[in-house]
């Protein structure tokens, strides 16, 4: 969990949030699977139904 928490904190840059807020979830998942922190940002922005579901999804990537 510590590693995930660190990613989450690093991800909270205004520029990244502003940019990825405009990217549709499907497009992001297809093109940026390796960027786990960005997916966490999307959860923060409300694109994931809930954080627990997202962590389950992330484990399968």
Q: Residue ranges of the domains in the chain?
A: 2-60
Within 1-61, where are the H helices? 2-11, 14-20, 25-31, 36-44, 51-60
pTM, two decimals, is 0.20
Token reading at 41: 């940002």
Q: State how far the alpha carbon of 54 is from the alpha carbons of 10, 15, 32, in Å.
A: 18, 22, 15
Average pLDDT, the chain: 52
State residue 1's pLDDT score: 47
- Spell out the residues 6+ positions from residue 16 whose beta carbon is closer than 8 angstroms to its own: 38, 41
**Across 38-50, average pLDDT:** 57
């Amino acid at each position: 969990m510590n590693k995930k928490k660190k990613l989450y904190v690093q991800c909270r840059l205004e520029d990244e949030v502003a940019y990825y807020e405009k990217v549709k979830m499907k497009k992001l998942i297809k093109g940026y699977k390796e960027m786990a922190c960005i997916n966490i940002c999307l959860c923060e922005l409300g694109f994931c139904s809930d954080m627990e579901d997202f962590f389950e999804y992330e484990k399968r990537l």
